[in-house]
Amino acid sequence: MLICNPYEIVIQGMTNNNKPFRPSDWAERLCGVLSSFDQGHRLSYHQWVRPILVDNIRCVAVDRKLEQISATAFNFLMDFARDNDLRILDCKALLEEQEHKQISLTDAVAHGNTDKKQKQGTNPHAEAATKPHALVNQLRELTPVETTSAFAALHLLHSNIRDITQFQELILIQQAEGYRLLGIFEEGKQNAVTVCGFRIVTNFVAGRHLHIDDLASHHSPIADEQVSQIFEALKSIADKENCNSIHADSSISSDNNNMHHLYLKHGFTLCSHKFSLKLS
C-alpha cells in the first residue's frame, strides 16, 4: 500500500538504471540532515521531510510546501537526488507506476516471461556502448550563491552542523572573516564531492600565509587526483596572495591518521603543537 500523500514528491532509493541505492539507511541519513530537536529535547524529522518504505524500497517523501518555506533546503534534496541518479516522482505518478507494474505482472504470468529471451538476444556491442565513461572533475572557487553545494561534504566532516540554514549562517559569518571555499565537481553533479575551506591569515609567527580550515570529501579516502588538484590550486592562490607558506590543522585523533598521512605525503611538515582550552 502506498503511504505517500498527493502533495508530496518522492525521492526513490532506486537509480534510473534500476539499481538499489546504498547505504541501506540513506533515507534516514538524508532526513537527519534537516532534523532538529523538539521541545522534549528529542531529535525529530523535519515536518515536511520523512523517510518512507514503498514496495520494500527506501524513499524520502518531501512536502511541496518545503520549496516555498525553504528553497535552499528543497534544492539541496533535489540536487542530492540528481547527483546520485535517484528517481524523483510525485505521489500520483508513483501510484500510477505501481498500478502499471501490477498489470504488467499479470500479463507476464499470462503470456510467459519474454524478458529472458530478449536479454539473450541483446547486442553485445550495444552493451559496451552503455558502459560509463570516466568522470570529468572540475575544480573552482565557490561564489557566495554556490556555498550550499559544499554542505553535503562539510556535513561529513562536521556532523554537529545538522541544519542547512545553520550551515549558511555560519558560512556567512566566516566569509566576513575571510573564509573561502574550493570545490571539486564531478560531471553531472550539482554538489561538490570534495571541498576545501581556507583563508589568508597574517600573524607574527608565520607572517602572511594560507590556512586550511576544512578538507572534506564524499570519497574516503580522498582520491589522490583530487587532493593534488586542491593543493595545486591552493599553491596558486597563495602565490597570488603573496603568502610564504600554507598551514593546516588536523585533529590528533587516531581517526584522523589518513589526513595526517595525506598532508605528510604532499610535503607538509609537523611544525608546532596546538593547544586548546574549552570555556564553560
pLDDT at site 119:
53
Residue 70 has pLDDT above 90, yes or no: no
b (16+ CB within 10 A) / e for 37-73: eeeeeeeeebebbbbbebeeebbbbbbeebbeebeeb
In the block, which residue shows the cell 589526513? Answer: 259
Give 3-state DSSP helix, strand, coil % of the chain, rounded to 5. 40, 25, 35
CATH code of the domain made up of 8-95: 3.30.70.2340
101 Cβ contact partners less than 8 Å away, ≥ 6 residues apart:
none
For the chain, give every domain's residue range: 8-95, 137-265
pLDDT at site 120:
55
Residue 257 has pLDDT above 80, yes or no: no
pLDDT at site 136:
67
Closest among 200, 197, 210 to 178, alpha carbons compared? 200
pLDDT at site 122:
52
70 near 48, Cβ under 8 Å?
Answer: no
pLDDT at site 42:
63
Binned at pLDDT 50, 70 and 90, residue 146 comes out as: confident
Q: Which residue has the higher pLDDT, 47 or 215?
A: 215
Residue 250 has pLDDT above 80, yes or no: yes
What average pLDDT does the chain have? 82
Q: What pTM value is reported for the model?
A: 0.64
Binned at pLDDT 50, 70 and 90, residue 259 comes out as: confident
- Least confident range from 34-48, 142-156, 166-180, 200-214: namely 34-48
Strand partners, 59: 12, 52
Residue 255 has pLDDT above 90, yes or no: no
Cell of 43: 531529535
d(CA 124, CA 128): 6
Tens of pLDDT, residue by residue over 186-244, are 887 788 999 999 999 999 999 999 999 999 998 878 888 999 999 999 999 999 999 99
Binned at pLDDT 50, 70 and 90, residue 1 comes out as: very low
- Least confident range from 68-72, 170-174, 241-245: namely 68-72
Query: What fold does the segment set 137-265 form as a domain?
Result: Aminopeptidase (3.40.630)
Tens of pLDDT, residue by residue over 73-129, are 888 899 899 888 898 887 776 666 666 666 656 655 566 555 555 555 555 554 444
Binned at pLDDT 50, 70 and 90, residue 162 comes out as: low
